[in-house]
Chain A
Amino acid sequence: MANQYDIVVVGAGPAGLMVSQIAAKKGLKVLLVDQKKDIPKILRSCCCNLIIEPGTHKEVVTYSSGEIRFQNNNFVVPYAGSVIPLKNSFKVSPGGQALTIKGKSPEGNVAISYEKEALVNGLFSIVQKNKNIEILCGLQAVKAENVKGGVKVTFRDREKNFTFEGKVAVAADGVNSKVVETLGLNEKRRKFFARFRVCSFHMENVDCPYPDSWITFVGTGHTRTKRGQLYMCPKPHEGITDPPVYELTLGVPVAATVEAVSTRDELDYFTTKGRFSGWFKNMKIVDVRAATLNFYTPLINPIEGNVVVVGDSAAFIETYVQGAMMYGFQAGNAIVKYLSTGSGLEDYADAWKESFEYNDPEEIKRASQGFGLHVLKDHDIDYLFGLTRGDDIRGYVNEFSDPITTRTALLSHLDQIKKERPELGAVLEKFSQVSVDDALQVDSRKKKH
């Protein structure tokens, strides 16, 4: 049977839109399918900012006047929305002590806050204009199979199944990828850690004492259940940056042994009864978003037959939105080369393996230790953050470098800590031995899918 399409792209997020755009520009016939009716509408939580630290995913990403520039891969993505440059990263302890990281970029920024909806809208309008791309909405991927000469992808709407064939299929269906699952790759190539529930409130009229900043609430005392991780930052909302809308996000692991918490209830508690509820006295919720994701180790080999896995579908947690676009760009080019020369997919696989930090298991450990500062007691965190008052700490919002920045800042006071709190000093010295499971608050004895 003749292939209907050159490429079937599953998922029209940043990665899928980028692959489609690149391939169609080179004349390939693309079918782009998404399960939502409204492709640019963002319904999921995404507390992502533009990560401007040079070297992230072996790339240098900059923003200026309506364009996001990827220097090393040499391409630009238009962004017509507004931005809020973030000047500081504050880590706030339950007792209200803050560890302050100031922006290290030449402009003094730690990251740049942007509106994902505006970005996806821009990418989608490019894709819509290209006649080589056929777009189907409201179809869910059921499974993908490698067949002779290509890939067969089955989709479903409310009533029936549809099958499309492509010479190549792209799995860009996100962190809980159905394509990756039905190819058996979750079983064969990945390790499962935990399931996380995420909820975000978008709020107006927040009296935030740390404006223009990325805020991480560290420690267990911020939630009733003593679990999870809270972040907050200003976001442009429908193009408006002043006054900003604040996005408050909570991620909580779902353990088999603990009654699962309602993330929404926890955020309600934090904003109305928590220690920092004063910030939220006058707030008005303009949007509530959520997400549920399974933490797997990344797919180090993102190719299975003629299926190419791109973006969060292959990642540990996420590639950030910019990573999804970059890997979409690389995968698109690799597929173009493969379909004209018979080889080239490995170019993308090699680039992915080399540049995605979490493909190195040590990086997962380092990052989750930073994430898992809460293996420390709340009063210890208060004490430690208090010590850093007045320190000139420079860095970025970036999950790969942030744990090192934080730990270096704390360890610079190690002599004093050892003198004043010898037990805590010993814990800090052994911090590198905290296991990933402990850091992610996973009950390793009883964890289940």
Chain B
Amino acid sequence: MQIDIDKCVGCGGCVNLCPQIAIHFFDNKACIDQFRCTECRTCVIACGMGAPNVSCRFPQAIIFTEA
């Protein structure tokens, strides 16, 4: 998961509800620690702004593997 910071208003709903405690505040916006996130989608369900989105977490690693 990643947070679209243009959509995030920094309410902290996902920060408090994330079961992995993988989300913290950074500059008053939510920020997801990619190494703790398990893609459980709790933040997606929590957010009314549509800020969290599923995006490839390690694109470079995958490009490397595919190559």
A and B interact: yes
Contacts A35-B15, A41-B28, A176-B16 given: A290-B48 contact, CB under 8 Å?
Answer: yes
**A43 engages B17 (CB within 8 Å):** no
Q: Closest approach, in angstroms, between the C-beta of A298 and any C-beta of chain B?
A: 18
Within 8 Å of chain A (Cβ to Cβ): is B5?
no
**B28 engages A195 (CB within 8 Å):** no
Interface size on A, residues (CB 8 A): 38
Q: Mark A36-48, 1 if CB is under 8 A from B, else 0.
A: 1110010111000
Within 8 Å of chain A (Cβ to Cβ): is B37?
no
Contacts A43-B10, A43-B11 given: A292-B17 contact, CB under 8 Å?
Answer: yes
Out of A43, A265, A294, name the residue touching B28 (CB < 8 Å). A43
**A195 engages B11 (CB within 8 Å):** no
**B49 engages A263 (CB within 8 Å):** yes
Which residues does chain A contribute within 8 Å of B17, judged by CB atoms?
176, 292, 294
Q: Closest approach, in angstroms, between the C-beta of A78 and any C-beta of chain B?
A: 26
Interface size on B, residues (CB 8 A): 22
> In the assembly, what is the distance between CA of A176 and CA of B9, in Å?
17
**A37 engages B50 (CB within 8 Å):** no
Out of B12, B26, B33, B49, name the residue touching A264 (CB < 8 Å). B49
Which residues does chain B contribute within 8 Å of A199, judged by CB atoms?
48-49
* Chain A contacts with B in 280-339, Cβ cutoff 8 A: 288-294
**B25 engages A35 (CB within 8 Å):** yes
**A198 engages B16 (CB within 8 Å):** no
Q: Closest approach, in angstroms, between the C-beta of A183 and any C-beta of chain B?
A: 15
* Chain A contacts with B in 92-146, Cβ cutoff 8 A: 138, 140, 142
Out of A37, A43, A157, A198, name the residue touching B12 (CB < 8 Å). A43
Q: Which of B10, B11, B33 has the most CB of A within 10 A?
A: B11
Which residues does chain A contribute within 8 Å of B28, judged by CB atoms?
36-38, 41, 43
Q: Closest approach, in angstroms, between the C-beta of B6 and any C-beta of chain A?
A: 11
* Chain A contacts with B in 22-41, Cβ cutoff 8 A: 35-38, 41
The residues of B with any CB-CB pair to A shorter than 8 Å are 7, 9-17, 21, 24-26, 28, 33, 45-50
26 contacts between A and B (CB under 8 A): A35-B25, A36-B25, A38-B28, A43-B9, A43-B11, A43-B12, A44-B11, A138-B24, A138-B25, A157-B24, A158-B24, A173-B16, A176-B13, A197-B46, A198-B48, A252-B48, A260-B48, A262-B50, A263-B48, A263-B49, A289-B9, A289-B11, A290-B11, A290-B47, A290-B48, A293-B13
